[in-house]
Amino acid sequence: MADVEEREDLEVLLRDEDVFDPPEEFRKQANFNDPAVYDEAEGDWQAWWESWAKKLDWFEPWETVLEWNAPWAKWFKEGKINASYNCLDRHVDNGKGDKVAYHWVGEDGDTRDVTYSELLEMTQRFANVLKKLGVEKGDVVGIYMPMLPETPAAMLGCARIGAIHNVVFGGFSVNSVKERMEVSDAKVLVTADASLRRGKPMPMKEKVDDILGDELPSLKSVIVVKRTDEDTPMTEGRDHWWHEISQEVDTDCEPEQLEAEHPLYILYTSGSTAKPKGIVHTTGGYMTGVAATHEVVFDLKPDDDVYWCAADIGWVTGHSYIVYGPLANCTTSILYEGAPDFPDKDRWWEIVEKYGVTILYTAPTAIRACIKWGDEYPNKHDLSSLRLLGSVGEPINPRAWAWYHKVIGGERCPVVDTWWQTETGHIMITPLPGITRTKPGSATQPFPGIEAAVVRKDGEIVEEGGGFLTLRRPWPGMARTLYKEDDRFVETYWSKYGKDIYNVGDAAKIDSDGYFWIVGRTDDVINVSGHRMSTMEIESAIVSHEKVAEAACIGAKDEDTGQAVVAFVTLEGRAGEGDDDMVQEIRDHVADKIGKLARPKRIVWADDLPKTRSGKIMRRLLKDIAEGRELGDVTTLRDPTVTEKIREKVASGQTDE
């Protein structure tokens, strides 16, 4: 990889002139409006996190706040805790049982309000179902679900008995589910008969049946939530309807008193290689981090706010900011099942108006789609309940930021651009809405207690300018390891700059005010609509197609989705150019192997790919070609003429979707 300073695609505009102070009305009422909080946290960052841990309910106290044998962290080591107890029981015990935890909104207009008491009952019953099916503390349970109230209940049910959930985003293919269940020896899989997408039922359980059997010997039971009236194949003894089996068990299930470091969940995410990484989060520190950041960053007023994180529970944003953070803070949230433009493009704004949503947290891609659809859709609705807006998942372009601030937020809502990752567990770099002067496009500054720095390749800190983002001290929600891959954990994150410096994998710039501007990934991970994918994973899916000899994928700049997958494909036997059917076949093949979201937007047929003399594919050159940049020196290539041929094909628009 070229040095970050030399890469044009890492260029960002520093716009010192565009600065937004927290709106005065907002500042006055904010939970945190005194910048002294930064100094306080900096003065003793472990004590700062400890003060947040104390707001949770623990069965046993800790003695050690942090044991740090870099890169191995133990937070609140001797403490005993249960995440589901903290998300549910303690609120019910505090008289909040009738408070709505989720206003669930189905895509078809169906709605369900689930109170804290009801969610507690669902959770306890599900926990008892797991026990009945032989699940024990430390066992893994797969969850492959649409956005239904049963989804958080299933996660919390696992947490209640110390089972480890492994949620797979409902948009991934069943092959991805299989891979993830296989590695983690999951005993039970929770799914639904079907999900609704744009008004149509899409079978889920029927597809899941394709992967069950000999290759997943540990997976003994499937629990199926009934969402539609579709006919669903059920295998006697193995498959159980959620609504039936949960009636066969008790409503009470004592929460396990778990060690603070007991694993709460595994969540697979994409890395530099074709093999996804199973990020492991544990209980005490993670709950501390998500509860603290959720309260501070979103200026949460639990009695008044209606909070909506419009992500999917299948991603980390959903885990931390639809389930664990908001429930720990006794929040009323929206849980929306469907697409933002179904049945029409004002669906989100209709929901905001109907429920009086006060806090909205979404991704730049969604904002850009809304901009494209036109102001008339939000303008049809009264959005005056909104008081805070958040962004996550990818860099937000200043234009989208400004639109969000003006059209959705009526210029009265602070915008918090929150940077973090599956690995970090919770928000790491973000404005504090009652304190920070924001600059559109900048995630601004580390959350109190977090230490971040941009460094050069050699690890030296850059005071002002571009480089690689690092995190320089432990934080409570940090990933503890990669599931069954300790060495890969150390190698990927804790080796490049030393064993106590976390290598983020993002390029960033720091400006003269010490503000961070996240530019994008420096590894072979691409970010399509805020969804993280590995170029290698997509390449290996493409080359597994029988007619494909070789493939290279890159993420090219895309004005809608941030980045889009472009695949350069050489067909078997140098078969030249594929036709439209072949394009479709490859796209379908990728959808089948990984999921629709990984399908290349564009396929370019290449007789050969640019390679070094040692045979390494130069993806960087392909990216330069796809984004229309001048190529530098290509003389080190085995065949320097290859790039010219590819450039002509790209320019001719050949095989565009």
The distance of closest approach from Cβ of residue 318 to ligand PRX in the complex, given in angstroms and rounded to an integer, is 10
Applying CB under 6 A, the span of 21-29, 131-139, 188-196, 516-524 interacting with ligand PRX comes to 516-524
The distance of closest approach from Cβ of residue 321 to ligand PRX in the complex, given in angstroms and rounded to an integer, is 9
Looking at the Cβ atoms of 62 and 420, the one nearer to ligand PRX is: 420
Is residue 11 classed exposed, middle or buried when 0-12, 13-18 and 19+ CB atoms within 10 A define those classes?
exposed
The distance of closest approach from Cβ of residue 413 to ligand PRX in the complex, given in angstroms and rounded to an integer, is 17
Among 256, 394, 537, 624, binds ligand PRX (CB under 6 A): 394
Told to check if 393 binds ligand PRX by CB under 6 A, we report yes
Distance of CA 380 to the CA centre of its chain: 30
Closest by CA to 258, choosing from 87, 77, 132, 129, is 77
For residue 417, give the H/E element and its range.
Answer: strand 415-418
List the Cα angle 16/21/25 in 5-degree steps: 170
Applying CB under 6 A, the span of 188-196, 229-237, 415-423, 638-646 interacting with ligand PRX comes to 415-423
Looking at the Cβ atoms of 395 and 446, the one nearer to ligand PRX is: 395
Q: Phi and psi (nearest 5°) for 21?
A: -75, 155
The distance of closest approach from Cβ of residue 274 to ligand PRX in the complex, given in angstroms and rounded to an integer, is 17
| Helices 580-593, 535-543: crossing angle, 10 deg rounding | 120
CB contact set of 654 (below 8 Å; sequence gap of 6+): 577, 604, 605
Applying CB under 6 A, the span of 141-149, 324-332, 390-398, 619-627 interacting with ligand PRX comes to 390-398
SS (H, E, C) 52-116: HHCCCCCCECCCCCEEEECCEEEECCCCEECHHHHHHHHHHHHHHCCCEEEEEECCCCCEEEEEH
Looking at the Cβ atoms of 269 and 329, the one nearer to ligand PRX is: 269
Q: Which two tokens stand for residue 35?
A: 């910048």
Q: Which two tokens stand for residue 446?
A: 């580390």
Told to check if 269 binds ligand PRX by CB under 6 A, we report yes
The distance of closest approach from Cβ of residue 626 to ligand PRX in the complex, given in angstroms and rounded to an integer, is 19
Residue 157 · residue 127 · CB < 8 Å = yes
Looking at the Cβ atoms of 184 and 430, the one nearer to ligand PRX is: 430
Q: Phi and psi (nearest 5°) for 632?
A: -80, -140
Told to check if 518 binds ligand PRX by CB under 6 A, we report yes
Q: Tell me the site size for ligand PRX, rule CB under 6 A.
A: 21
Rounded to an integer, what distance in angstroms lies between the CA atom of residue 157 and that of residue 135?
A: 11
Looking at the Cβ atoms of 340 and 393, the one nearer to ligand PRX is: 393
Among 281, 368, 509, 521, binds ligand PRX (CB under 6 A): 521
CB contact set of 113 (below 8 Å; sequence gap of 6+): 100, 102, 103, 104
DSSP 3-state of 621: helix
Applying CB under 6 A, the span of 53-61, 73-81, 170-178, 514-522 interacting with ligand PRX comes to 514-522
Residue 31 · residue 25 · CB < 8 Å = no
Rounded to an integer, what distance in angstroms lies between the CA atom of residue 436 and that of residue 433?
A: 6
Query: Hunting for tokens 């931390």 — which residue is that?
Result: 320
Q: Which two tokens stand for residue 435?
A: 């304190």
Looking at the Cβ atoms of 128 and 442, the one nearer to ligand PRX is: 442
Q: Which two tokens stand for residue 31?
A: 């939970």
Rounded to an integer, what distance in angstroms lies between the CA atom of residue 414 and that of residue 436?
A: 9
Is residue 512 classed exposed, middle or buried when 0-12, 13-18 and 19+ CB atoms within 10 A define those classes?
exposed
* Amino acid occupying residue 410: G
Residue 78 · residue 244 · CB < 8 Å = no
Phi/psi-derived region of residue 57, left when phi > 0, alpha when psi is between -120 and 50, beta in every other case: beta
The distance of closest approach from Cβ of residue 654 to ligand PRX in the complex, given in angstroms and rounded to an integer, is 31
The distance of closest approach from Cβ of residue 106 to ligand PRX in the complex, given in angstroms and rounded to an integer, is 25
The distance of closest approach from Cβ of residue 35 to ligand PRX in the complex, given in angstroms and rounded to an integer, is 21
Q: How far is CA 460 from CA 147, 428, 468, in A?
A: 44, 21, 10
Among 307, 420, 483, 493, binds ligand PRX (CB under 6 A): 420
The distance of closest approach from Cβ of residue 532 to ligand PRX in the complex, given in angstroms and rounded to an integer, is 3
Told to check if 419 binds ligand PRX by CB under 6 A, we report yes
Told to check if 417 binds ligand PRX by CB under 6 A, we report yes
The distance of closest approach from Cβ of residue 656 to ligand PRX in the complex, given in angstroms and rounded to an integer, is 27
Looking at the Cβ atoms of 162 and 414, the one nearer to ligand PRX is: 414
- Residues 437-456 contacting ligand PRX, CB under 6 A: 443
DSSP state of 657: -
Rounded to an integer, what distance in angstroms lies between the CA atom of residue 220 and that of residue 9?
A: 48
Rounded to an integer, what distance in angstroms lies between the CA atom of residue 423 and that of residue 430?
A: 16
Told to check if 422 binds ligand PRX by CB under 6 A, we report yes
Applying CB under 6 A, the span of 44-52, 190-198, 387-395, 571-579 interacting with ligand PRX comes to 387-395
Among 246, 421, 445, 481, binds ligand PRX (CB under 6 A): 421
Applying CB under 6 A, the span of 113-121, 392-400, 454-462, 493-501 interacting with ligand PRX comes to 392-400
The distance of closest approach from Cβ of residue 566 to ligand PRX in the complex, given in angstroms and rounded to an integer, is 19
Applying CB under 6 A, the span of 36-44, 365-373, 391-399, 485-493 interacting with ligand PRX comes to 391-399
The distance of closest approach from Cβ of residue 346 to ligand PRX in the complex, given in angstroms and rounded to an integer, is 26
- Residues 38-67 contacting ligand PRX, CB under 6 A: none
Rounded to an integer, what distance in angstroms lies between the CA atom of residue 127 and that of residue 249?
A: 9
Looking at the Cβ atoms of 418 and 535, the one nearer to ligand PRX is: 418
- Residues 314-373 contacting ligand PRX, CB under 6 A: 316-317
Among 83, 335, 367, 392, binds ligand PRX (CB under 6 A): 392
- Residues 205-234 contacting ligand PRX, CB under 6 A: none
CB contact set of 326 (below 8 Å; sequence gap of 6+): 294, 307, 309, 333
Among 165, 532, 623, 647, binds ligand PRX (CB under 6 A): 532
Torsion angle of C-alpha atoms 438, 442, 443, 444, degrees rounded to 10:
-60
* Amino acid occupying residue 213: G
DSSP 3-state of 111: strand
Applying CB under 6 A, the span of 75-83, 95-103, 386-394, 449-457 interacting with ligand PRX comes to 386-394
Site string for ligand PRX, 270-299 (x = CB under 6 A): ------------------------------
- Residues 4-43 contacting ligand PRX, CB under 6 A: none
For residue 521, give the H/E element and its range.
Answer: strand 516-521
Looking at the Cβ atoms of 368 and 521, the one nearer to ligand PRX is: 521
The distance of closest approach from Cβ of residue 463 to ligand PRX in the complex, given in angstroms and rounded to an integer, is 21
How many angstroms separate the first and last alpha carbons of the chain? Answer: 29
- Residues 467-506 contacting ligand PRX, CB under 6 A: 505-506
Binding site for ligand PRX (CB under 6 A): 269, 316-317, 392-395, 417-422, 443, 505-506, 518, 520-521, 527, 532
